[in-house]
Amino acid sequence: MRKVFKIYRPFTHAGVLIAAQYRANFFFFILGDILRCFINYFLWHAVFTSGGEKTFAGFSETDMVVYIFISFLTSVIAYSDGSYAVGEEIRDGNIAMRMIKPIRFDLAFLFQELGERLITVTLIFAPMMLGVEIYKFVVTGVIGFNIVNFILYLFSLILAYLITFYFNVCYGYSAFILKNLWGANFLKDCIVGFLSGGVIPLAFLPPVVAVTLNLLPFASQTYIPVMMYVGMFDVPTIIYSFALQIFWLIFFIILQQIIWNACVKRMSVQGG
Amino acid sequence: MKMLRKIHRMFKLHRIFIKQDLKKLMEYKIDFLTGAIGMLLTQAINIFFLSVIFARIPNLEGYSFEQIIFIYGFALLPKSIDHLFFDNLWAIGHFIIRKGDFDKYLTRPVSTLFAVTVEKFQVDAFGELVVGIMLLGYSVPKIAVSINFVNVILFVVAIFFATFIYTGVKLITSAIAFWTKRSGNITYMFYMINDFAKYPTTIYNRVVRTVITYIVPFAFTAFFPASYFITGGNVWYNIGGTVVMAVVLMAVGIFVWNKGVSAYESAGS
């Protein structure tokens, strides 16, 4: 394990440098994206005022607001550039250079991205968490911060990131065949965003659909960690959800390895 | 006469550029198709989201589902038309100026702004345009919009000027790059405010309402003009406001742009 860290640390360092270069850029983009959370906040506020009921599908207004902001935070942190970066390397042929080096392709990417993530996380994690907790305090009058939920959330978030990363690497490999361009990635982000509960909590969907979507890997990417934070899972569901996340992580790691082995055999580099 | 000939020439040039872009499109058919499906799907998911909400409440601050859909669909039209014709302004703030590529527009025998905008015909916008038209087609028969000659004219006027509210915001913010080399992220931040326009402004608090009405006036791209068609009231404020805001933003935009072009120093060697 220590050897792995030693080998791949330079990639993390490179990632930090890249992210530091673009941090102002990142900041503005995030500001633009956070606006969407506020739209949802006002929309749900109007929904709760118009509906006259205290809860929807088990969510109170406070729960809903926490869900909106924490699911945004989760999707930003658990976001992975993998599919784009891998596809790009395949298209321009740089992947050939990776193959001749005695390092693992997926780990090199992972450690570089972790470096880039480091800055993202430090820039938005604490302010947003604090904002949500202050909101909860202002609305309910009691400090609602639950350390157990927070720790469960952190663990689930790490798993969510790793699942997202390996899922995206697998998707990126499709560029070996499809030569992915912008459109394919846009379509994927759109579908995953919905299936992972980023648009609306899965609990709002018809029961059959909700149960099915819960099983799919996408729920493990956003929905499960957020629900842990909101504290709407009971103990059996928490254990079950972690098991599900671990299952999907292992599934995608193995799938990634299989595709990689298969692709290396039949690959042709464009202009390589 | 000279003016007419000039306009005629601009349209002719524009057609040639559009033809070029369509050829490029044929080269990347699959990419265009998946992108357009993605755009369609994004909107479909949003509509689904609204229908899930409306399954649980009778109305939203007094607006029915059909009325919300009308405002939403209305919002997509100017947005997609701006996207179709003026998408290249994004590239100005993102990389054209930073890489020194702006030099080439200075050598063209047309105004720089025209040369920049005409260069790209962003066909991805058709996804949103189609959804917008479909949503209007669905909602108009279900709400009491009176379809008469005056309203049709007002509709066209509102869409036309609302488009230039989008273009104006992009123009002002991307022209900042003439001084800072890069302003794509600033454009993005301001542009994203347009999402607020898709819902009745009455759901927001006073700060947000003031910002989207008077500062970055996206409320005039959708909610205000659409509410004229829904209620039939206050045409001067709802449609007139759209016209005034568009003219002001475009005037400021062109002014800043021209200032910027004269301040422009090419990057690199």
Any residues with CB less than 8 A from the CB of A160 and at least 6 apart, and which? A74, A78, A220, A221, A222, A224, A225, A245
CA-nearest of A28, A23, A22 to B176 is A28
At residue A116, does pLDDT exceed 90?
no
At residue B236, does pLDDT exceed 70?
yes
CA-nearest residue to B199 within chain A is: A43
B151: tokens are 């309203």
At residue A36, does pLDDT exceed 80?
yes
Residue A145: band (very low, low, confident or very high) from pLDDT cuts 50, 70, 90: confident
Rounded to two decimals, the ipTM of the complex is: 0.84
State mean pLDDT over B23-42: 78
Asked if the structure places residue A272 within a domain, the reply is: no
Beta-carbon separation of B186 and A24 below 8 A:
no
Query: Which among A28, A49, A187 is the nearest to B186, CB-wise?
Result: A28
Give the domain extent around B149.
Answer: 2-263
Touching check for B44 and chain A: CB below 8 Å? no
Q: How far is CA A31 from CA A72, B190, B191, B242, in A?
A: 12, 10, 11, 26
At residue B52, does pLDDT exceed 80?
yes
State the pLDDT at residue A170: 87
A268: tokens are 């042709």
State the pLDDT at residue A177: 66
At residue A83, does pLDDT exceed 80?
no
Q: Provide DSSP, A61-97.
A: HHHHHHHHHHHHHHHHHT---HHHHHHHHHHHSTHHH
Residue B10: band (very low, low, confident or very high) from pLDDT cuts 50, 70, 90: confident
Cα–Cα distance measured from residue B194 to residue B164, given in angstroms and rounded to the nearest whole number: 13
Count how many domains chain B has. Answer: 1
At residue B268, does pLDDT exceed 70?
no
CA-nearest residue to B49 within chain A is: A200
Give the domain extent around A210.
Answer: 2-266
State mean pLDDT over A58-70: 90
State the pLDDT at residue A272: 44
pTM here? 0.86
Q: List pLDDT tens digits, range B153-191.
A: 999 999 999 999 999 999 999 999 999 888 888 999 999
- Neighboring chain A residues of B123 at a CB cutoff of 8 Å: none
At residue A39, does pLDDT exceed 80?
yes
Burial bucket for residue A186 (CB in 10 Å: 0-12, 13-18, 19+)? buried
CA-nearest residue to A27 within chain B is: B185
Q: Which residue has the higher pLDDT, B37 or A5?
A: B37
At residue A267, does pLDDT exceed 80?
no
Cα–Cα distance measured from residue B151 to residue B235, given in angstroms and rounded to the nearest whole number: 10
Touching check for B65 and chain A: CB below 8 Å? no
Query: Which among B32, B192, B203 is the nearest to A43, CB-wise?
Result: B203
State the pLDDT at residue A181: 62
Q: What percent of chain B has pLDDT over 70?
A: 98
Residue B269: band (very low, low, confident or very high) from pLDDT cuts 50, 70, 90: very low
At residue A180, does pLDDT exceed 70?
no
State the pLDDT at residue A269: 55
At residue B138, does pLDDT exceed 60?
yes
**Residues B34 and A187: beta-carbon distance below 8 Å:** yes
A172: tokens are 């990126």
At residue A119, does pLDDT exceed 90?
no
Residue A87: band (very low, low, confident or very high) from pLDDT cuts 50, 70, 90: confident
B22: tokens are 């369509």
Give the containing element (helix H, strand E) for A60. strand A59-60
Cα–Cα distance measured from residue B50 to residue B164, given in angstroms and rounded to the nearest whole number: 28
Place of tokens 């015909």: B121
Asked if the structure places residue B236 within a domain, the reply is: yes
B92: tokens are 């100005």
State mean pLDDT over A83-88: 76
Question: First-to-last CA distance in chain A?
Answer: 34
Distance, CA of A150 to chain centre: 17
State mean pLDDT over B98-121: 87
**Residues B226 and B76: beta-carbon distance below 8 Å:** no
Whole-number mean pLDDT of chain B?
88
**Residues A117 and A74: beta-carbon distance below 8 Å:** no
A230: tokens are 């909101």
**Residues B174 and B257: beta-carbon distance below 8 Å:** no
State mean pLDDT over A168-195: 79
State the pLDDT at residue B194: 92
> What is the sign, positive or negative, of the torsion defined by CA atoms of A213, A218, A219, A220?
positive
**Residue A183 Cα, gap to closest chain B Cα (Å):** 4
**Residue B109 Cα, gap to closest chain A Cα (Å):** 33
Asked if the structure places residue B268 within a domain, the reply is: no
Distance, CA of B134 to chain centre: 18
State the pLDDT at residue B36: 79
- Neighboring chain B residues of A209 at a CB cutoff of 8 Å: none
State mean pLDDT over B192-200: 91
Count how many domains chain A has. Answer: 1
Asked if the structure places residue A137 within a domain, the reply is: yes
- Residue A63: phi and psi, rounded to 5, are -55, -45
Asked if the structure places residue B71 within a domain, the reply is: yes
Beta-carbon separation of A42 and B186 below 8 A:
no
Asked if the structure places residue B269 within a domain, the reply is: no
State mean pLDDT over A52-75: 88
**Residue A101 Cα, gap to closest chain B Cα (Å):** 32
B55: tokens are 């399954």
State mean pLDDT over A126-151: 87
State the pLDDT at residue B76: 94
Q: How far is CA A89 from CA A30, A96, A189, A265, A272, in A?
A: 26, 9, 19, 17, 11
Q: Which residue has the higher pLDDT, A250 or B42?
A: A250
Q: Which residue has the higher pLDDT, B245 or A188?
A: B245
